[in-house]
Amino acid sequence: MLAISRLTYRHGQRLILDHIDLQVGAGEIVCLVGPNGAGKSTLLRCINRILKSEHAVMTLDGHALEHMARRDVARAIAYVPQQTGSAMALRVHDMIALGRAPHRRWNSAGQDRRIVLDVIAQLGLQALALRSCDELSGGERQRVLLARALVQQGKLLLLDEPTSDLDLHHQLEAMSAVRGIADHQGSGVLIAIHDLALAARFADRLVMLKEGSIVAQGHWREVLTPHNIAAVYGVNAVVGSDGDMPYVIPLRPA
């Protein structure tokens, strides 16, 4: 579905991403993990063509991303940035409905409305639907922006730390909704995320970045080894699982 090869990105002389090869299949959730400054957000922004990478070959369902029209990219790729800026004085329902804009046709209002109501219910946003976005807490706003991306029903979802402001209940609810979109609509999902246990629990595959390069990728049991965590984060950690539920406990600096 999404295939990237040799993606390199520089800020001036500084190499930020170095020959990244990455695939995200239909219905697959891939979590990008790695320390602050590793290049996770930059990678998402290069894929979404906000930043222009060097040498990269990027295709979505076999079509070169660089040759796709802006509107087709907007239909195919839903993106939730890390920095959401200041909130607009728009009702929550109307903000979420904006996600349908790339799909809107003269006769699509009924279908658009159903999709928006379904996502509002999945993310438990009913009680907020008539509130103004500029009166929401940080976590509430984050859930609204995730909802706006989910209603877009893109082939590819790019989510930059979508759970960073959420409490435990809403982290699970948000990641379960994303899992549902991947399972039922076949969307591929690429998520930059710091919570290693949450990433391991919901991702099909983890990709671990350090200083702009991929140092490990695969099932969480292969990627989240104490060795990799010490090498990439400089932290000694215990990694285990309770049944299929992974946990990571940081102990001390390595």
Ligand X SMILES: Nc1ncnc2c1ncn2[C@@H]1O[C@H](COP(=O)(O)OP(=O)(O)OP(=O)(O)O)[C@@H](O)[C@H]1O
Binding residues (CB under 6 A) for ligand X: these are: 11, 16, 34, 36-42, 82, 192
CB of 129 to ligand X, least distance (A): 30
Q: Which of 23, 125, 40 is nearest to 82 (CA)?
A: 40
Does residue 247 contact residue 236 with C-beta atoms inside 8 Å?
Answer: no
Smallest distance from ligand X to CB 123, Å: 23
Q: How far is the CB of 230 from ligand X (least distance, A)?
A: 18
Residue 41 or 53 having the CB closest to ligand X: 41
| Closest separation in Å from C-beta 240 to ligand X | 24
Between 42 and 153, whose beta carbon lies closer to ligand X? 42
User: What residues form DSSP beta bridges with 247?
Assistant: 240
Which amino acid, residue 166? L
Instruction: Please name the residue ranges forming H helices in the chain.
Output: 40-47, 70-76, 92-97, 109-122, 138-151, 168-185, 196-202, 220-223, 226-233
Nearer to ligand X, 13 or 107 (CB): 13
Q: Between residues 119 and 166, which has the closer beta carbon with respect to ligand X?
A: 166
Phi, psi of 192 (to 5 degrees): -85, 130
CB of 40 to ligand X, least distance (A): 4
- The Cβ of residue 185 has, within 10 Å, a number of other Cβ atoms equal to 14
| Nearest distance from C-beta of residue 153 to ligand X, angstroms | 26
Q: Which is nearer to ligand X, 37 or 240 (CB)?
A: 37
Contact (CB, 8 A) for 157 and 78:
yes
Q: Which residues contact 91 (CB under 8 A, 6 or more apart)?
A: 129, 130, 131, 132, 133
Q: Which is nearer to ligand X, 160 or 204 (CB)?
A: 160
Residue entry with tokens 């279908």: 111
Q: What's the rounded Cα separation, in Å, for the pair 134 and 139?
A: 12
